[in-house]
Amino acid sequence: MPRAIWSGAISFGLVNVPVKLYAATSPKTVRFNQLNARTGARIKQKRVDASTGEEVAYEDIVKGYEIGPDRWVTIEPEELDALDPKATHTIDVEAFVDLAEIDPIYYDASYYLAPAPGGARPYHLLTEALAAEGKVAVGRVVLRSRQQLCALRPVGEVLTLTTMLWGDEVNAPDGLDGFDAAGEPASPKELEMARALIEMQSGPFDPGDYHDEYRQRVLALIEQKANGETVAPAPAPAPAAAVPDLMAALEASLAAVRDGADAVPGPGRPGTGRPRPAKPKPRAKKSTPAAPTPAVRAPARKRGS
């Protein structure tokens, strides 16, 4: 049974919703430990005082912020908590916005919210109201002593909380190397063919269509070596060939999709574990609903904390 990692309340207007927070994701990254190549023993890292070289006990370590060369300001955890005690156990809703207004680049990590004792009725009320209005609640929450922007979204009968980056944490794309905004525009024919290629490979998103093939190969390698098998190094992949003729590349891509060739990767291709459809079906155009139900978006996982 999953354990709650935080408990508090959602606050909107004069309504409080007691909730508990649970992790919504389980990263499957293969993690390695550092070993001594000569003895095979695991390497241990120690916290050492840079001035004395002596190991420092965990209880003697404090937080410090560098304000200049070898000049630090130390901060106690209680001092940080005192800056906003109300927000420490409250998700303060500040606005309700349309899901489409939030660019996914702002999303960070996702969690599930469940009603705490006494919170079932207001919890389901908020969930149903958000779904009916097609809205996302944007607010603030303190997790691990850090105040974060967050979005509350209904997924079926469950509320999700997704932490978000602040506006000044997202870099503008201005000045990117190799990006020429004033480059030669695509011809109408090229645009038509590119749109046709996108349409032919369009379909609903199913997470089961996609697998971490690199992780699977790493685990297979570990199993082989654990069984004493000799593993020959794989040949280096051939460098990608330059495409001198964009129109020819588009025509070849369209032909590959029509003929069911393996040249164009994607869901349903050999190696993905799912059968390829015999013939793509044209999608009927749908009118935009007045109040769409928010869907789950997978945020990029942020390194570190």
Q: What pTM was computed for the model?
A: 0.69
Pick 234 or 120 by higher pLDDT.
120
pLDDT of residue 234: 76
H or E element in which residue 214 lies: helix 213-226
Cβ neighbours of residue 211 closer than 8 Å, sequence gap 6 or more: 272, 273
DSSP 75-141: E-HHHHHHH-TGGGGEEEEEEEEEGGGS-GGGEEEEEEEEEPTT-HHHHHHHHHHHHHHTEEEEEEE
Q: What is the mean pLDDT of the chain?
A: 82
pLDDT higher than 50, residue 52: yes
Residue 153 has pLDDT above 80, yes or no: yes
What are the structural domains of the chain?
A: 6-24+80-169 (2.40.290.10)
pLDDT digits (tens, 9 = 90+) for 90-139: 999 999 999 999 999 999 999 999 999 999 999 999 999 999 999 999 99
Question: Are 9 and 19 in contact, with CB atoms under 8 Å apart?
Answer: yes
- Residues 107/108/112/114 CA torsion (nearest 10 deg): -80
Decide: 12 and 126 in contact? Cβ < 8 Å.
yes
Burial class of residue 111 (count of CB atoms within 10 Å of its CB; 0-12, 13-18, 19+):
buried
Q: Which of 36-50, 67-81, 156-170 has the lowest mean pLDDT?
A: 67-81
Identify the pLDDT of residue 1: 67
Confidence of residue 58 (pLDDT cuts 50, 70, 90): very high
Question: What are the pLDDT digits (tens) for 251-299?
Answer: 888 888 888 754 455 544 433 434 444 444 444 444 433 333 334 344 4
Specify the residue for token string 């916005």.
97
pLDDT digits (tens, 9 = 90+) for 59-78: 999 999 999 998 999 998 88
Give the β-pairing of 90-98 and 6-12: parallel
Q: What are phi and psi of 296, to 5 degrees?
A: -75, 135
pLDDT computed for residue 279 by the predictor: 41
Distances (CA, A) of 183 to 40, 189, 263: 55, 17, 28
Q: Which residues contact 283 (CB under 8 A, 6 or more apart)?
A: 199, 202
pLDDT for residue 285: 42
Of 80-84, 152-156, 174-178, 224-228, highest mean pLDDT: 152-156
Q: What is the pLDDT of residue 288?
A: 39
Between CA 65 and CA 69, with CA 67 as vertex, the angle to 5 degrees is: 110
